[in-house]
């Protein structure tokens, strides 16, 4: 018997907190991207998250959890943020959940998600992509946070990226796409870049990029890139956080 429950589509999305702060235009803003390893390193993770996430305009997380700890951290230390989370599954033992999340002081105009059509090998868990649309003083901007399939065939991996690209193709404005793409093989990396290049998205090269495996990536369209770096000394997750500054 599997140790988890997959929520129905109507119960995938949840919101924590209440945003609403306007972002002036034109503007520079900071983005923080991190696979947080479900916060398993407890206080070490919480300290890093508080320090590195502080002041960021948008925070995009993979393996975010709705448990006794992470939402408390959001509510106490990021009290002015509105968090939207797409839940992949609930653990049966305590009904905590995990998935992808986007947090910002700005309230999104629309929130949606897609599930990959294929599930992970062995555990059979789904992977999700979250789509939040924001209004920047009349300009619609799409933020996409994804956690891409890992233990699947190259064909299934490619199909999951085309599924994400197809949904983004209906949006004509600026886009930020970021997350854990599980590009542990060169073919995966090249397929990923090709699919999103066809949508006019630029793959960002990151400063201080000391990663041996480059699993996490950021793509943008319609922005000037001011800064893009990796926090490669962080040890509170099995992924390094990414920090991006963009100008619209």
Question: Any idea where the domains of the chain sit in the sequence?
Answer: 4-247
Model confidence at 25: pLDDT above 70:
no
pLDDT confidence of residue 112: 98
Give this prediction's pTM.
Answer: 0.96
pLDDT confidence of residue 208: 78
For residues 174-201, average pLDDT: 98
pLDDT digits (tens, 9 = 90+) for 189-200: 999 999 999 999
Distance CA 121, CA 152 (A): 6
CATH 3.40.50.300 corresponds to the domain 4-247: no
Distance CA 36, CA 199 (A): 28
Q: How confident is the model at residue 26 (pLDDT cuts 50, 70, 90)?
A: low
Q: How confident is the model at residue 89 (pLDDT cuts 50, 70, 90)?
A: very high
Alpha carbon dihedral 41, 45, 46, 50, in 10-degree steps, equals: 180
CB 62 within 8 A of CB 74: no
């Amino acid at each position: 018997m599997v140790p988890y429950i997959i929520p129905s589509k109507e119960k995938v999305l949840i919101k924590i907190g209440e945003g609403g702060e306007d972002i002036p235009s034109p503007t520079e803003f900071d983005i923080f991207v991190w696979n947080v390893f479900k916060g398993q390193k407890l206080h070490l993770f919480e300290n890093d998250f508080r320090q590195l996430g502080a002041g960021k305009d948008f925070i995009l997380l993979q393996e975010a959890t709705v448990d006794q700890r992470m939402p408390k951290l959001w509510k106490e230390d990021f009290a002015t943020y509105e968090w939207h989370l797409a839940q992949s599954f609930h653990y049966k033992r305590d009904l905590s959940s995990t998935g992808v999340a986007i947090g910002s002081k700005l309230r999104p105009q629309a929130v949606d998600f897609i599930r990959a059509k294929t599930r992970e090998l062995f555990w059979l868990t789904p992977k999700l992509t979250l789509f939040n649309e924001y209004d920047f003083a009349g300009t619609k901007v799409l933020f996409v946070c994804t956690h891409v399939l890992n233990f699947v065939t190259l064909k299934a991996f490619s199909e999951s990226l085309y599924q994400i690209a197809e949904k983004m193709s209906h949006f004509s404005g600026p886009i930020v796409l970021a997350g854990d793409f599980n590009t542990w093989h060169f073919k995966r990396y090249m397929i990923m870049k090709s699919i999103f290049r066809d949508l006019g998205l630029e793959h960002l090269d990151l400063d201080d990029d000391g990663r041996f495996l480059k699993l996490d990536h950021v793509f943008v369209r319609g922005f000037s890139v001011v800064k893009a770096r990796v926090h490669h000394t962080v040890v509170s997750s099995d992924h390094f956080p990414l920090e991006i500054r963009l100008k619209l």
